[in-house]
Chains A and B, each alone.
Chain A
């Protein structure tokens, strides 16, 4: 079945710096890609979603890159601020399934 690896597990950046998180997946048929954010004591909330025909998507200081050849998905937070401190998860699903597989998470700390 699908395997998703995410790194780094922990990331600490200064306010105003960029934070970069990367995921790799195994199934070339994977069609849908997601980034979620989890704040302390809460469930996950969707940040962005992309379909497999999109290589790059930008929204509100977030950039998602998809490299289907290398089966790699990345999230870049530009100009991070302390409110971005949270755990970030990538997630993927196939074209004919409702099963969503998550990465292992990245705990991001943005220092003032």
Chain B
């Protein structure tokens, strides 16, 4: 069974603080993704990666950085968190173009006060 695990599952941060959301996959997939989910917007792509060492900007990258140090791990970094970044963040992995399925983690709920 494909497995994507995210940590932390819940995080409360202060405005201006640094937040790191971590994602680990055991699927040996090349592609990994970070989305945020907000009511009325569905899932919006923040950053994605084709493999270790690569990161690509998605549709809403401003205020976020990403890091892919290995095949298994993909992190999302908020250097200076703002209340507008309060959201639920999902990590996903996928095998590649046209392979269909993305495997999602269970989400990380971030609240920035």
Residues on A facing B (Cβ under 8 Å) = 1, 6, 9, 31-32, 34, 36, 41-46, 49, 51, 89, 91, 93, 95-105
Contact = CB atoms under 8 A, between A and B. Distances in A.
Interface of B: 4, 31, 33, 35, 40-45, 48, 50, 56, 58-59, 90, 92, 94, 96-98, 100-102, 104-107
B6 to A, nearest CB: 9
Contact of B43 (A41, A46, A51, A102): A102
A101 B42 CA distance: 10
A51 to B, nearest CB: 7
Contact of B106 (A41, A97, A104): A41
Given A6-B42, A43-B106, A98 B90 contact: no
B101 A46 contact: yes
